[in-house]
Amino acid sequence: MAGPIAQNVSDHSATVFWLTSRNTRMTLSYGRTEAHLDQIASTAELAATGGNREHRVGLKNLEPNQTYFFQILDNHSAVRAKGQFQTEPTGYAQDGRLKIVDGPVFEYLDSTSVEIAWTTNAQSSTLVRYGANPNDLRKTVEAPWGQATHRVTITGLEPNATYYFVVESGQASDSGTMAKSNEGSFRTEYQGEAALTNIEPRR
């Protein structure tokens, strides 16, 4: 329903989060090429929210400045989702660039809206690019400049529809650099279903 999205990506680690519509055991396989996803990580299931289940997998001992591909398998070994992310280069924490240090996370989801939040290491702009096609994220929602904790609500969505997004922060104080998340996705609720709240609060 939400995700998968790579969060808190560093030079040697990352977290992949997703939300399923029911309690289930899932496995994430990953690797540096799509053809060889030979590393396996099982999910740490968190508390259920509204009958749904949150999944978070921590990946460690990654190589710096590399693209990693992953797929999520259900308990019948069927592929339910795919994604990729790029690790940071060695020494990225000292290079003075703007960085996303927490998130993006999903805080609210109903049939026509979603709330997404993230945190940067400096005050900067707040922008989400999104769309129903992962290759066409031309719709945007933004908030005023000047926050390190960023929060955007996207409204006017279609019920039971999948959307793709990236978050961006730029014009950072002191550095003028920009930070951008890996691509994520979410599916809105069916019309009339209860909203999911406090899905994954920002730390």
Q: What's the pLDDT tens digit per position in 154-196?
A: 999 999 999 999 999 998 766 667 899 989 999 999 998 888 8
Q: What is the pLDDT of residues 21-80, one digit of tens each?
A: 888 888 899 999 999 999 998 665 444 444 457 888 999 999 999 999 999 998 888 999
Tokens matching residue 25: 């055991």
User: 81 with 131, same domain?
Assistant: no
| Residue 54 confidence (pLDDT) | 82
| Residue 47 confidence (pLDDT) | 44
Within-domain flag for 158: yes
What is the chain's Cα-based Rg?
Answer: 17
Q: Is the pTM of this model over 0.85?
A: no
User: 108 with 28, same domain?
Assistant: no
CA-to-CA distance for 201 and 134, rounded, in angstroms?
25
User: 105 with 82, same domain?
Assistant: no
| Domain stop point among 86, 108, 123 | 86
For residue 192, what are the domain limits? 96-197
φ, ψ of residue 93 to 5 degrees: the values are -70, -20
Is there a contact between 124 and 20 (Cβ–Cβ < 8 Å)?
no
User: 191 with 153, same domain?
Assistant: yes
| Residue 176 confidence (pLDDT) | 67
Which position has the token pair 């999205």? 5
| Residue 51 confidence (pLDDT) | 45
User: 125 with 57, same domain?
Assistant: no
Whole-number Cα distances in Å, 49 to 88, 109, 192, 199: 32, 11, 17, 7
Which position has the token pair 């790579």? 6
For the chain, the domain total comes to 2
Counted residue by residue, the chain has a size of 203
| Domain stop point among 58, 86, 114 | 86
| Residue 199 confidence (pLDDT) | 72
Within-domain flag for 203: no
Within-domain flag for 78: yes
User: 106 with 80, same domain?
Assistant: no
- Please determine, for residue 150, whether its predicted confidence score (pLDDT) is greater than 90: yes
Return the amino acid letter for 138.
R
| Residue 153 confidence (pLDDT) | 97
What CATH number has the domain bearing residue 141?
Answer: 2.60.40.10
Which residue from 95, 111, 88, 84 is spatially nearest to 29, judged by alpha carbons? 84
| Domain stop point among 44, 64, 86 | 86
CA-to-CA distance for 62 and 9, rounded, in angstroms?
10
Q: What is the pLDDT of residues 101-118, one digit of tens each?
A: 898 999 999 999 999 999
Return the amino acid letter for 132.
A
User: 157 with 74, same domain?
Assistant: no
Within-domain flag for 202: no
Tokens matching residue 101: 């240090």
User: 184 with 125, same domain?
Assistant: yes
| Residue 200 confidence (pLDDT) | 67
User: How many Cα atoms occupy the beta-carbon half-sphere of 113 within 13 Å?
Assistant: 12
